[in-house]
Amino acid sequence: MKEIVIINGPNLNRLGKREPEIYGSETLDDLEKQLRDHANGREIELDFFQSNSEGEIIDRIAEASDQGVSGMIINPGAFTHTSIALYDALAGAGLPCVEVHLSNIYRRESFRQKSFTAAACDGVISGLGFYGYIAAFDYLLSGSARRSR
Ligand code: DQA
């Protein structure tokens, strides 16, 4: 069975409470439910992982690589703009991967407009809210995912 790993980074466990004017009022559980509903009926396992710790996210990416999962969707949160270690983990994983941001990082503060991690992903979806995760999921299953093992 195909498996997609969905990784959410720091502070995304606070969705619904955190700056709702930017990130909306829905929670991480709501996101998981929407993706599971979307995947329903297709033979795909979804594995959700959230951590506020850079090291734990790096370990989960390496684990996904060792498991040989079909693809990853990652919202690295603020680590997007800071973490070369996360770039290395994604580049080394050799898995199809889509970076997702709920907000449009190019419309926000200048420090958010640089993504270190994007270059290790197939592509980036930014500013489409939860729909970005759905679009990333559809891409990973479309057969057009570029970075195959
Ligand atoms: C975010 C954008 C980041 O700049 C920010 O640090 C986040 C969330 C987004 O989903 O829009 O934590 O990744």
Within 24-103, residue ranges assigned H as helices are: 28-39, 54-67, 84-93
Residue bearing tokens 């199809």: 96
pLDDT for 23 equals 97
* CA-to-CA dists, residue 133 to 39, 78, 92, angstroms: 12, 17, 22
Q: Can 23 be counted among the known catalytic residues?
A: yes
Per-residue model confidence as pLDDT tens digits over 106-137: 999 999 999 999 999 999 999 999 999 999 99
Per-residue model confidence as pLDDT tens digits over 43-57: 999 999 999 999 999
Q: Can 81 be counted among the known catalytic residues?
A: no
Nearest to 140 by CA among 101, 80, 99, 81: 99
Of all atoms in ligand 1, which is nearest to the CA of residue 112?
4
Q: Is the CB of 102 under 6 A from ligand 1?
A: yes
- Kindly state the average pLDDT of the residues 70-96: 98
Domains of the chain (ranges, CATH numbers): 2-141 (3.40.50.9100)
